[in-house]
Amino acid sequence: MDSEKHPGEQQNDSEIPSSLDDLGPDSNRYCPGVRNLNWKGRFLRGFVALFGFIGVIIYNERWPSVLDHPLLFTAGLIVLSFITALAFLQSFLSFCVVDAFLGRTNISGLFQKVSSDAHKLDKKRAFLILGGALVLGLLFSALLLIKEVGSTL
């Protein structure tokens, strides 16, 4: 029975966990490609996402009266929606895209460099988050633009 643990054996605590399940809800441990952000970073990004969402709604309601060109209005709406979605995903996933591309983590409150293997995993996750934020931003913008087109008919 290989899966049995012997009383004299110790687990290797220096091993890096491979998923958030291994970390627990209140853990402050870095996990390559999964988690590189502490609770303060999550809170800050959640705050930005909330105000971004409010900003998108206000922009959608007020900006057409100031700027009448539909291409500029649409581009502004997409950019604002993308930034909001990016902040939301980073907060929800406990993962900072900028830190991932720079090869560092801020999980302990201080910036620390990560290994090259961890940097590769972090960059892969960062690209996935950026792609997801772009899709969410485009979908949210499309929903708001459909409402605008419907109200002008």
pLDDT in tens, 79-101: 999 999 999 999 999 899 999 99
Residue 63 · residue 73 · CB < 8 Å: yes
Q: How far apart are CA 100 and CA 119, in angstroms?
A: 7
The mean pLDDT of 34-58, rounded to a whole number, is: 90
- 107 phi/psi in degrees, rounded to 5: -70, -30
- Give Cβ neighbours of residue 126 (< 8 Å, ≥ 6 apart): 95, 97, 100, 101
Lowest mean pLDDT, pick from 18-32, 70-84, 104-118: 18-32
pTM (predicted TM-score) = 0.76
Reference 98, options 36, 52, 42; nearest CA is 36
What is the residue-averaged pLDDT of the chain? Answer: 79
The mean pLDDT of 119-148, rounded to a whole number, is: 90
Q: What is the dihedral sign for C-alpha 36, 42, 46, 47?
A: negative
